[in-house]
């Protein structure tokens, strides 16, 4: 006897009779929805992060329309809904403070509504992890569609990359090598189309993670936002999500441990953002997959950067697209024996089936594994008495000669102290010093802002210094570069050893040995600890308080402690 067909979740709303059936259907009909749309066909939520306050996602109405067409074409019923949208450039003190809040919005919006499957529309940095985290905690069939990068920026004939050139040019202005008028002109030439940052920053990295994890379709990472194929991806996702619901393939079948291992290796191969470390740990733990900081070191080791893209290289995402995009990178990893080839993806094929035939049409943009762009450049996880719970560095963005360095600490107590003193000609600093920034971690900032790539003091810039060792409990923009140690845990505002560093202390960094050591005796540190007082919490009420009271450290993904894990797609009680 055939097994009885599983009643779809949406039927617990739309398939009802009596008062509740009337309530659940009648108001939805006000847009002209015919009665037959409630007949048990898959109801697909389109989770949209469109906002004019998130410029990188400003084209998402078009994408949502394409998803809808795809859903209708496959016999589903699409319902679009907005969630909190996090724009990296406008939100203060940092979009990261709100990632977990947005993830709660996503989780509850999905579970509380009559949905059988979801398509997530995401682009600007934090919109990707917040949607993945929320969706993972519900675990319905899910496909991610990224908004795509902007077209290349160009200024005076040169490629200009989002963020990367903001850091570069502002240093040139500070060093007196560029006028403010030229700076303004360059600013207008960089972001010239819809889409997210077009360097291999956090948005492009996370779009690549979506593709590498298999939750997005092949090509998801690189098609520019304005490329017609971006709309095809959205429309295909609309068609495909209906099939995933019919075949009952929840997100947990795709977001497996094997998928995360693949994503870590892909991140190394693309020279991806350090932010992915925090986001992937958070997403994995929502999904019930055990993923630790050490996994980044273990699976990133021996992986080379293949992609010659800013901020580590010279090209941009549009070039990456024309070269063949992420499928070429995945193929290279597969051929090097560095891919879990059987990992299932959203189109129903394995990751290897999707990518094994990928063709490299830009060998100067995507290099072969045997002759990589940079060798052994996976994220390195550092340990030592300065970061008992770990810190990270992105070797592909660092200066090789600084990867082993010992220097005198120059300490800034917080970001305001840094801004007040960094350009003071009397600041006692030279290029061999190690710049230390405190109180910029999850609790301290709050939200762990992207300030870890501290600008070099102006007087050193004028001497031609372009990089120094910098250490903090902050994050760094994926568009930034330098020998920058990030995410030191526990953070200084939580009493981590970083809080105890003083001007003049010797600090030793040895990336090959994965070591970060403060040359101060245990006895002296204990003495300093007695005199340490935690900084005053930034706000005594509201979400900021909830966040500071409950946020986990960077090594645990910065999720709120009570959000880790999931509650599944249970159907809540009736509302009337």
Among the listed residues 25, 59, 111, 196, the single contact to ligand FES using CB under 6 A: 196
Write out the two tokens for 360: 């490299």
Kindly state whether residue 316 participates in binding ligand FES, applying the rule CB under 6 A: no
Among the listed residues 80, 105, 116, 125, the single contact to ligand FES using CB under 6 A: 125
CA distance 331 to 335: 6
CA distance 489 to 474: 10
Among the listed residues 203, 330, 393, 499, the single contact to ligand FES using CB under 6 A: 203
Among the listed residues 89, 350, 385, 399, the single contact to ligand FES using CB under 6 A: 89
Kindly state whether residue 197 participates in binding ligand FES, applying the rule CB under 6 A: yes
Q: How far is the CB of 196 from ligand FES (least distance, A)?
A: 4
* CB closer to ligand FES out of 56 and 329: 56
* CB closer to ligand FES out of 201 and 395: 201
Binding piece for ligand FES, criterion CB under 6 A, among 197-205, 296-304, 327-335, 494-502:
197-205
Write out the two tokens for 275: 């932010």
Write out the two tokens for 321: 């697209």
* CB closer to ligand FES out of 162 and 396: 162
Binding residues among 10-69 for ligand FES as defined by CB under 6 A: 56
* Spatial contact of 137 and 565, defined as CB atoms under 8 Å apart: yes
Among the listed residues 67, 71, 124, 469, the single contact to ligand FES using CB under 6 A: 124
CA angle 567, 571, 575 (to 5 degrees): 125
Dihedral in degrees, nearest 10, Cα atoms 555, 556, 557, 559: -140
Kindly state whether residue 162 participates in binding ligand FES, applying the rule CB under 6 A: yes
Coil, helix or strand at residue 23: helix
What Å distances lie between residue 326 and 263, 272, 573, CA to CA?
Answer: 11, 12, 43
- Alpha helices for 48-163 (secondary structure H): 60-73, 99-111, 127-138
Q: How far is the CB of 109 from ligand FES (least distance, A)?
A: 22
Kindly state whether residue 261 participates in binding ligand FES, applying the rule CB under 6 A: no
Q: How far is the CB of 264 from ligand FES (least distance, A)?
A: 21
Write out the two tokens for 117: 């499957």
Q: How far is the CB of 161 from ligand FES (least distance, A)?
A: 10
Coil, helix or strand at residue 510: strand
For the chain, the residue count is 576
Q: How far is the CB of 14 from ligand FES (least distance, A)?
A: 36
* CB closer to ligand FES out of 37 and 89: 89
CA distance 316 to 56: 16
* CB closer to ligand FES out of 58 and 231: 58
Binding piece for ligand FES, criterion CB under 6 A, among 22-30, 38-46, 58-66, 193-201:
193-201
Binding residues among 347-406 for ligand FES as defined by CB under 6 A: none
Q: How far is the CB of 478 from ligand FES (least distance, A)?
A: 8
Q: How far is the CB of 197 from ligand FES (least distance, A)?
A: 3
* Spatial contact of 341 and 334, defined as CB atoms under 8 Å apart: yes
Residue 567: closest CA among 288, 290, 243: 288
Residues binding ligand FES: number (CB under 6 A): 10
* Spatial contact of 114 and 10, defined as CB atoms under 8 Å apart: yes
CA distance 438 to 147: 35
Binding piece for ligand FES, criterion CB under 6 A, among 111-119, 194-202, 228-236, 275-283:
194-202
What are the backbone dihedrals phi and psi of residue 194, each rounded to the nearest 5 degrees, phi first? -55, 160
- Alpha helices for 412-492 (secondary structure H): 415-421, 458-462
CA atoms within 13 A on the CB side of 250: 13
Kindly state whether residue 262 participates in binding ligand FES, applying the rule CB under 6 A: no
Kindly state whether residue 201 participates in binding ligand FES, applying the rule CB under 6 A: yes
Q: How far is the CB of 400 from ligand FES (least distance, A)?
A: 27
Kindly state whether residue 88 participates in binding ligand FES, applying the rule CB under 6 A: yes
Kindly state whether residue 243 participates in binding ligand FES, applying the rule CB under 6 A: no
Tokens 């001497």 locate to 463
Residues engaged in binding ligand FES (CB under 6 A):
56, 88-89, 124-125, 162, 196-197, 201, 203
């Amino acid at each position: 006897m055939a097994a009885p067909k599983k009643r779809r979740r949406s039927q617990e709303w739309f398939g009802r009779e009596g008062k509740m059936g009337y309530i659940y259907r009648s108001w939805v009909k006000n847009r002209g929805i015919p009665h037959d749309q409630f007949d048990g066909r898959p109801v697909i939520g389109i989770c949209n992060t469109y906002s004019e306050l998130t410029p990188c996602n400003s084209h998402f109405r078009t994408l949502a329309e394409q998803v809808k067409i795809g859903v209708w074409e496959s016999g589903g019923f699409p319902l679009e809904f907005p969630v909190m949208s996090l724009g990296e450039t406008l939100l203060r003190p940092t979009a990261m403070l709100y990632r977990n809040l947005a993830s709660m919005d996503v989780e509850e919006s999905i579970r509380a509504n009559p949905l059988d499957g979801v398509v997530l529309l995401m682009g600007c940095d934090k919109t990707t992890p917040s949607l993945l985290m929320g969706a993972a905690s519900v675990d319905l069939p899910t496909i991610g569609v990224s908004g795509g990068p902007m077209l290349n920026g160009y200024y005076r004939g040169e490629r200009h990359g989002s963020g990367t050139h903001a850091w570069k040019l502002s240093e040139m202005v500070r060093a007196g090598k560029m006028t403010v008028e030229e700076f303004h002109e360059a600013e207008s030439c960089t972001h010239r189309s819809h889409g997210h940052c077009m360097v291999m920053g956090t948005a492009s990295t996370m779009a690549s993670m979506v593709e590498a994890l298999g939750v997005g379709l092949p090509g998801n990472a690189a098609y520019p936002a304005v490329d017609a194929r971006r709309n095809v991806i959205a429309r295909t996702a609309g068609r495909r999500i209906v099939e995933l619901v019919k075949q009952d393939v929840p997100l947990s079948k795709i977001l497996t441990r094997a998928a995360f291992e693949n994503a870590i290796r892909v991140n190394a191969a693309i020279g991806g953002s350090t932010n992915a470390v925090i986001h992937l740990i958070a997403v994995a733990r929502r999904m019930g997959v055990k993923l630790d900081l050490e996994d980044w070191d273990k699976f990133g080791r021996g992986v080379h950067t293949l992609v010659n893209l800013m901020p580590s290289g010279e090209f941009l995402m549009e070039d990456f697209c024309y070269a063949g995009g992420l499928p070429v990178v995945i193929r290279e990893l597969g051929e090097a024996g560095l891919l879990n080839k059987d990992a299932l993806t959203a189109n129903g094929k394995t990751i290897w089936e999707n990518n094994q035939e990928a063709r490299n049409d830009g060998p100067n943009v995507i290099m072969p594994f045997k002759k990589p762009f940079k060798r052994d450049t996976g994220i390195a996880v550092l340990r030592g008495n300065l970061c008992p719970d770990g810190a990270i560095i992105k070797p592909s963005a660092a200066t090789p000669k600084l990867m082993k360095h010992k220097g005198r600490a120059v300490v800034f107590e917080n970001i305001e102290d840094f801004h007040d003193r960094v350009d003071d000609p009397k600041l006692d600093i030279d290029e061999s010093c190690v710049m230390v920034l405190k109180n910029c971690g999850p609790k301290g900032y709050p939200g762990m802002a992207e300030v870890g790539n501290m600008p070099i003091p102006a007087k050193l810039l004028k001497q031609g210094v372009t990089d120094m060792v910098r250490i903090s409990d902050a994050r760094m923009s994926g568009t930034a570069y330098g020998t920058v140690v990030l995410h030191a845990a526990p953070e200084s505002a939580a009493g981590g050893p970083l809080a105890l560093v003083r001007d003049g202390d010797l600090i030793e960094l040895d990336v090959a040995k994965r070591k970060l050591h403060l040359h101060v005796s245990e006895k002296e540190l204990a003495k300093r600890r007695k005199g340490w007082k935690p900084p005053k919490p930034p706000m005594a009420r509201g979400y900021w308080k909830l966040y500071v009271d409950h946020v986990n450290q960077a090594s645990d993904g910065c999720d709120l402690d009570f959000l880790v894990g999931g509650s599944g797609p249970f159907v809540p009680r009736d509302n009337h």
